[in-house]
Amino acid sequence: MRSIAFAMFTPFYFIKAGLYVSIPALWAGLLIIGAFLVLKMLTKTVGVFPLARLHYMRPREATYTTLLMATGLTFGTISALFGLENHIIDQTQYTILVSTVILSAFVPTLIAQKFFQPSIETMHAWGRIYRQKIKGSAFSIMSVEDLNHDGMNATCGRLRLRLPSTPFLRSNWRANRDRGITHKHIASIITKCAIDIGNVRYSR
Q: Indicate the DSSP class of residue 106.
A: H
The Cβ-side half-sphere exposure at 204, using a 13 Å CA radius, reads 7
pLDDT at 21 over 60: yes
Please state which of the ranges 79-83, 139-143, 190-194 shows the lowest mean pLDDT. 139-143
pLDDT attached to residue 202: 38
Please list, in sequence order, all residues whose beta carbon lies within 8 angstroms of the beta carbon of residue 148, skipping any fewer than 6 positions away. Answer: 168, 169, 170
pLDDT attached to residue 122: 87
Mean pLDDT of 183-201: 53
Tell me how crowded residue 6 is: count the other CB atoms within 10 A of its CB: 11
Q: 64-84 in b/e burial notation, b at 16+ Cβ within 10 A?
A: bbbbbbbbbeeebbeebbeeb
Count of residues in the chain: 204
Q: Output 185-188 pairs: Cβ under 8 A, ≥24 positions apart.
A: 186/144, 186/147
pLDDT class of 163 with cuts at 50, 70, 90:
very low
pLDDT attached to residue 174: 52
Report pLDDT digits (tens) over 90-148.
Answer: 999 999 999 999 899 889 999 999 999 888 888 888 888 888 877 755 555 555 445 55
pLDDT at 198 over 90: no
